[in-house]
Every structure is written in structure tokens, then in C-alpha cells.
Amino acid sequence: MAINIPTPHISAKKGDFAKTVLMPGDPLRAKFIAENFLESPRLVNNVRGIQGYTGTYKGVPVSVMASGMGMPSIGIYSFELFSAYGVENIIRVGSAGGMQENIKVRDIVIGMGACTNSNYASQYGLNGTFAPIASYKLLSVCVEKAKEMGLCHHVGNLLSSDTFYSDNTDTGWGKMGVMAVEMEAAALYMNAARLGKNALAICTVSDHLLTGEATSSEERQKTFTDMMTLALETAISL
């Protein structure tokens, strides 16, 4: 599918985005990363308040742009970045709800795979069930960087859910070893697979389904800096 620049949802010009884009859900988290981690960041998109910036990190061009909440939203933005703007790598930097006793609030979870209750894969007309997985290129670099940085991290399956408030609170995903629940990774992984690109989801556990512990919206926006640094270190090591 050919997409013209600017796209329906991104007003940036050709060449405005780096090859690697960090993608938080929250536009204010994108702004925080740009202003606190990137050198000479410039705003390249602000359609619908979805802020996108490009600058450098340790001399390497890196972009950051919000995805909004949910798989339909990240599906749109990641598709346009991959298809129209020549982006090769998207690293989601988000929040997630812990589902295992050994995973604590503020731990980092790295999504090797992303289970989902979404119907997103139906568009591909597959005769079976597609398993959305991260790009090994990004995953392997990220895990090594997390070890080097001494971060408390876990690697495994995420659940990308279409529902934040659900009548069914006993889903059984935790029994299958799923680490945490979020709302975007599966669609990002599927877009990357379809378009021959690379994707990875790195999330900080912001709340816990078993203990009820939770962080505030301001903490999610400004204090998950270990995850942000890990994503940036991964980006410049590709």
C-alpha cells in the first residue's frame, strides 16, 4: 500500500525521522524523553497532539513519537512510520501491569512475544493463529544492554489486551506464564512482520494485578528513566 507524505496522521517531511523511533503511548512521555535525553531535539509532528521529535543520543540520530493508547492507534502510527518514512526499527517504551509474583512494580519487562485477545491478525487472512514476536535483532541487543546496566528485567510473553476495564478478571494468562499486560505490542509486532521491519516492546511495570500496587500518571510520565535509557542504548547499538 503506497502512502503519500505527509500521511493522514503525521505531518513530518521526508527525512524528518531517524531509522529508529522510540514509541511511548503518552505524548507527554515522548516530550519528556526528547527534552531530557536527546541533543537538539526538534518537533517534527504534532498532529492531534501526537508529538514526534528527532534529535541525537550520543551523536546518533534517534526519534521519539507517541503512539496513543491501544492497538488500533499504534497500528496506524507504526504503519505510517514504517511505510512512508523509511523507519526500520520501532521500540515501544510503555507501561504494563504485572501478572507474576516474581515481577515487581518498576521492574522492566522485555516482550519476546505478545499474546493478544485482539482481532488485529484477521486482516491477514491466515489459516491459523499468528504468534506476534519481537525482532531478535532488537531483543538480543536490548537484553545484553539490560545486563550491562544491571537492570532488574524479565524476558518473556506480554499480553496485549483490547480492554483496560474487563468483566472477565480471571483470564488465565498468568497461569500460562505471561509476565504482564499492556495494550500495544502485538499490533506493533504484526506490522513489523508484515512490512519486513523490526520491533520490540520494553515496558516498566507500573502496577500489579496481584498486589494492587500502582504508580501515578506523573510517575509513569517522568520516572521510568531506566527503561528510556535502555531503549536509547539499544537504539544506538543497532
Catalytic residues: 207
Q: Under 8 Å CB-to-CB from 132, ≥6 apart: which residues?
A: 113, 114, 116, 121, 160, 185, 186, 189, 190, 193
User: Is the preceding omega at residue 41 within 30 degrees of 0, hence cis?
Assistant: no
**Residue 207: count of CB within 10 angstroms of its CB:** 17
The Cβ of residue 40 has, within 10 Å, a number of other Cβ atoms equal to: 9
Q: Which 3 state secondary structure label does DSSP give 135?
A: coil
Strands 52-57 vs 39-45: parallel, antiparallel or unpaired: antiparallel
